[in-house]
Amino acid sequence: MVAGAKLIFGYATGAVSIISDGFHSLTDSASNVMGLIGLRIASKPPDAQHPYGHRKFETLAAAGIFVFLLLVVVEVGQNAIARFNSGEAPRVTAASFAVMLATLAINLLVVRYEAGRGRALKSELLIADAAHTQSDVWTSCTVLVSLIAVKVGYPVLDSVGALVIAVFIARTGFHIGMETSGILADKVVLDRETIHQVVMSVPDVLGCHQIRTRGTYDHTFLDLHVWFAADTTLYEAHRLSHVVKDRLMETFPQIADAIIHIEPPPVDHSAAKSQIPNPNSQ
């Protein structure tokens, strides 16, 4: 409804800033549909072909929002440049302000609700889409300023406003792209030093290394190597590794699974208890 109102009224009055904002809202609607599909797939439990589950489909849906934003930046930029070259002035009426203010109020409610639920559910998709809708709020404010400028005799600012909208959209797309690419590229999720401290809090643990995490902030996979004395029985080492795993999952509830490799310490392990993993190493 928001996208339709902006596009219909923008084309009717010739206001390229409103048209650009309408395309922005339209991509928000399309990304919502993509998000629903992504969440539906991501909710499936692990199976034989996907032993780690389907959670990355949610990340792919967030990446889809990024692609939509790129497309709309191109569309907005082309419309703004074309109007700037033509020099045509849009028609600005009281209805123009009414449409923009009404859609702005709707988007503010959507952002507040969606961002709140995204934080509560730790959903990267909801947070990403709330950021997208937040950019729609700012672009609507930019359109209102442009309409005021056109009304007082500066029609060129309609095109300038559309270009400003393109910058807002590009900025939002950049942040979403950085977040989703980090997840898809298995960027480190949890702090290695904190993990090291939790592991070392378990009695008889001599050290740990090769700490690796991947996944999303609410669904993380962890694997690491834990050192026990060379004469520790397999039964005892296995029991202690479960103590380590339980403490880690208690400290980090978002850990979906932790794989612990049991091994004796290196030959020179005098400083094992004080070893802290290098954040730049694997």
Asked whether residue 250 is domain-assigned, the answer is yes
CATH number, domain with residue 179: 1.20.1510.10
The string over 122-153, giving b where at least 16 C-beta atoms fall within 10 Å of a residue's C-beta and e elsewhere, is ebbbbbbbbbbbbbbbbbbebbbebbebbeee
Q: 72-86: per-residue pLDDT in tens?
A: 788 778 877 877 777
- Can you tell me the mean pLDDT for 220-234? 93
Residue 137 shares a structural domain with residue 54: yes
Domain final position from 133, 158, 184: 184
Q: Is residue 273's pLDDT more than 60?
A: no
Q: 12-68: per-residue pLDDT in tens?
A: 888 878 888 888 787 777 777 776 777 777 778 888 888 887 777 777 777 877 887
pLDDT reported for residue 269: 55
Q: Is residue 254's pLDDT more than 90?
A: no
Asked whether residue 258 is domain-assigned, the answer is yes
What is the Cα–Cα distance from 139 to 172, expressed in whole angstroms? 11
The dihedral through the CA atoms of 85, 87, 93, 97 has a sign that is: positive
Asked whether residue 81 is domain-assigned, the answer is yes
Q: Which structural domain range is residue 218 located in? A: 192-274
Which amino acid makes up residue 238? H
Residue 129 shares a structural domain with residue 147: yes
Residue 221 shares a structural domain with residue 96: no
Residue 134 shares a structural domain with residue 253: no
pLDDT reported for residue 137: 82
Asked whether residue 279 is domain-assigned, the answer is no
> Strands, DSSP E only, in the chain?
207-216, 219-227, 255-263
User: How many separate domains does the chain show?
Assistant: 2
Asked whether residue 111 is domain-assigned, the answer is yes
